Amino acid sequence: MKAALRVTPPLRRKAHFFLRSRGTLADVHPFTSAFAEALDRRGATLSWLHEQLVERGNPVSVASLSYWRSGQRVPERASSRDALPDLEDLLHLPQGHLSRTVSTSRRVAPQRPGVMIGTLEQAREPIRRALAELDLEDPLNGLQEVHVHSVLDIGADGRPRRNSLRRLFRATRPDIDRFAHVEVVDPRSGARPRLLDLLECAEGRVVSYPESGVHVTEMLLPRPLGQGETALVQHDADLSEVWPAAPELSQHVLRPVRELLLWVRFDPDWVPGTWETRVQTTTDLTVLPRDTVAESAVHLALRNFGPGQAVVRWSVEPRPQPA
């Protein structure tokens, strides 16, 4: 017995003692039993989990992990809930395995009205009409954007080729099974960007107002989400047939997001000479000129941003080739 106690980490002894004092695993919160069983099955220590979560940008203290395992607490804060998809991955669990167990106890704040800024503000009326035709009051339809990553590829001729958009959503109410993807392009194009390689979502109805360059696509989730559940979706937009508009990558967020990342990747044969970032909120516009593009890619990363519009813009002339 003494030898067994020496090889068992103290935090794990404490967790099992607390569970025994309250009853069997079945008597405690579903998250507690699911988390404890996954830890035992994986053979992972709390300190290892802590280190891995720090590396992934979702730090959770060893003490908090211990509380979760013992049943003294369950994840309720937004930062704690953000770590659940990473925990599921690290513990080799199916997506949503832990998230579903705490969905009924999550305190999700009511959504504030979305704020349209910049390009969206200019196209407000056709966007509103398109949403009404889809029976939606808001593009996100009760979903909260947590992480938004937008990647744009530029071809050897300097024209945009493909835009890949990945978003992590959290449901602020039960039974959300769809949202709207809004595109605003140059009206002279008349072309709607074709959506490709959809992951964890499917294309539904489309409402377009070509004279305004507004195209709103209904996006269907694989299943209805419970309150507090998360969904990670991705889709690409083919921009090859769209009128070449301003040389920029722009992303709007209607409400605050934890992380917004814009990444522009240039063909090595066409790299711009200069670039800048533009960040617009309800109260401010910040423009930061950049002298040169050192490599063949540039990015803009923002934390706890929104509502607002973030833009990466570059010169129309390529960087001079070395002699």
- Return the bridge partners of 129, or none: none
Look-up of token digits 């990015």: 299
DSSP state of 89: H
Q: 43 with 49: CB under 8 angstroms? A: no
Which of 166, 161, 159 has its CA nearest to residue 181?
166
Inter-CA distances, 134 with 71, 181, 196, 198, Å: 43, 12, 21, 20
Look-up of token digits 């039974």: 175
Q: Tens digit of pLDDT for each residue in 220-263?
A: 999 999 888 899 999 999 988 876 567 899 999 988 899 999 99
- Classify burial at 304, counting beta carbons within 10 Å of its beta carbon; exposed 0-12, middle 13-18, buried 19 or more: exposed
Q: Tens digit of pLDDT for each residue in 136-170?
A: 989 999 999 999 999 999 999 888 999 999 999 99
203-235: b or e for each residue (b if 16 or more CB lie within 10 Å)? eeeebbbeebbbbbbbbebeeebbbbbbbebeb
Q: What is the pLDDT along the chain (323 residues), one digit of tens a residue?
A: 333 333 333 333 333 333 433 334 345 678 888 899 999 888 889 999 899 988 877 788 888 898 888 887 888 777 787 888 888 989 998 888 888 887 544 455 555 656 565 666 777 889 999 999 999 989 999 999 999 999 999 999 888 999 999 999 999 889 999 999 999 888 887 678 899 999 999 999 999 998 888 999 999 999 999 888 899 999 999 988 876 567 899 999 988 899 999 999 999 999 998 899 999 888 888 888 876 666 789 999 999 898 899 999 998 888 777 65
User: Domain residues of the chain, as ranges?
Assistant: 2-105, 119-314
pLDDT at 116: 61
- Give the span between the Cα atoms of 212 and 131, in whole angstroms: 15
Q: 252 with 224: CB under 8 angstroms? A: no
- Classify burial at 12, counting beta carbons within 10 Å of its beta carbon; exposed 0-12, middle 13-18, buried 19 or more: middle
pLDDT at 283: 85
163-185: b or e for each residue (b if 16 or more CB lie within 10 Å)? bbbbbbbbbbeeebebbbbbbbb
- Give the span between the Cα atoms of 320 and 46, in whole angstroms: 53
Which of 247, 253, 284 has its CA nearest to residue 266?
247
- Give the span between the Cα atoms of 120 and 311, in whole angstroms: 13
pLDDT at 112: 61
Q: Per CATH, is 119-314 categorized as 2.60.40?
A: yes
pLDDT at 152: 96
Q: What is the pTM of this model?
A: 0.66
Tell me the CB-side half-sphere exposure of residue 205, using CA atoms within 13 A: 9
Question: Which residues neighbour 103 within 8 Å (Cβ) at sequence distance 6 or greater?
Answer: 226, 227, 228, 229
Question: Which residues neighbour 164 within 8 Å (Cβ) at sequence distance 6 or greater?
Answer: 150, 151, 152, 153, 197, 234, 235, 236, 237
Other CB atoms within 10 A of residue 91 CB? 18
